[in-house]
Amino acid sequence: MPQCKECKSFFPVPENEWDYEKGAGDCIRELRDNKGRYWHARRTKDEMDALKCTDYKKR
């Protein structure tokens, strides 16, 4: 079963950050729509099941 931490979009929250929690990470993706592109960060957990994630890309 793929997990978030194995994905290219997963960036762990460093321990010295305010929002650090064990296993916490940012799912960061480049997105585009008709108004251009932007980079989006969503909070996630390293062991989160990524099976149904359509954006999952193994590192």
Interface with other proteins (CB under 8 A), residue from 1, 18, 51, 58: 18
Which among 46, 39, 35 is positioned nearest to 11, based on CA atoms?
A: 46
DSSP state, residue 2: -
Asked whether position 26 contacts other proteins by CB under 8 A, the answer is yes
Which CB atom, from 1 or from 39, has the smaller least distance to other proteins?
A: 39
Asked whether position 38 contacts other proteins by CB under 8 A, the answer is yes
Asked whether position 15 contacts other proteins by CB under 8 A, the answer is no
For the chain, state the CA radius of gyration: 12
Asked whether position 33 contacts other proteins by CB under 8 A, the answer is yes
- In three-state secondary structure terms, 4 is helix
